[in-house]
Amino acid sequence: AQTVTQSQPEMSVQEAETVTLSCTYDTSENNYYLFWYKQPPSRQMILVIRQEAYKQQNATENRFSVNFQKAAKSFSLKISDSQLGDTAMYFCAFKTRSGSEKLVFGKGTKLTVNP
């Protein structure tokens, strides 16, 4: 069974600085997707970034980028130039491409951006 581990329950960062959230996963699959979702205090879960395992290039979306290390089964999220609006719960998630619709989530990291 696949598992996703986020080892940092809470983190904080100063506005305009850079922060990295860690995520590791366990799977025997070779073809899969990895995601970072953001859930602000207003509750709606929003997709931040997505990575396909067969792609070696790390995904980037504006200030958000990932460091995908397939051999180490690591998928960290880097937020550059942190903004107050980045304050949220961040969830790492895994999905196999083998036909299951299931998305496996980590427990989340609560990020607070301080002014």
Partner 1 sequence: ETGVTQTPRHLVMGMTNKKSLKCEQHLGHNAMYWYKQSAKKPLELMFVYNFKEQTENNSVPSRFSPECPNSSHLFLHLHTLQPEDSALYLCASSQEGGLAWHTDTQYFGPGTRLTVL
Q: Which residues bind partner 1 (CB under 8 A)?
A: 33, 35, 37, 42-47, 50, 91, 95, 97, 101-103, 105-108
CB of 37 to partner 1, least distance (A): 8
The answer to whether 16 and 81 have CB atoms below 8 angstroms apart is yes
For partner 1, the closer CB: 18 or 55: 55
The DSSP output letter for 28 is S
Q: HSE of 45 in the Cβ direction (CA atoms, 13 Å)?
A: 9
Q: How far apart are CA 18 and CA 85, in angstroms?
A: 14
CB of 14 to partner 1, least distance (A): 27
CB of 28 to partner 1, least distance (A): 19
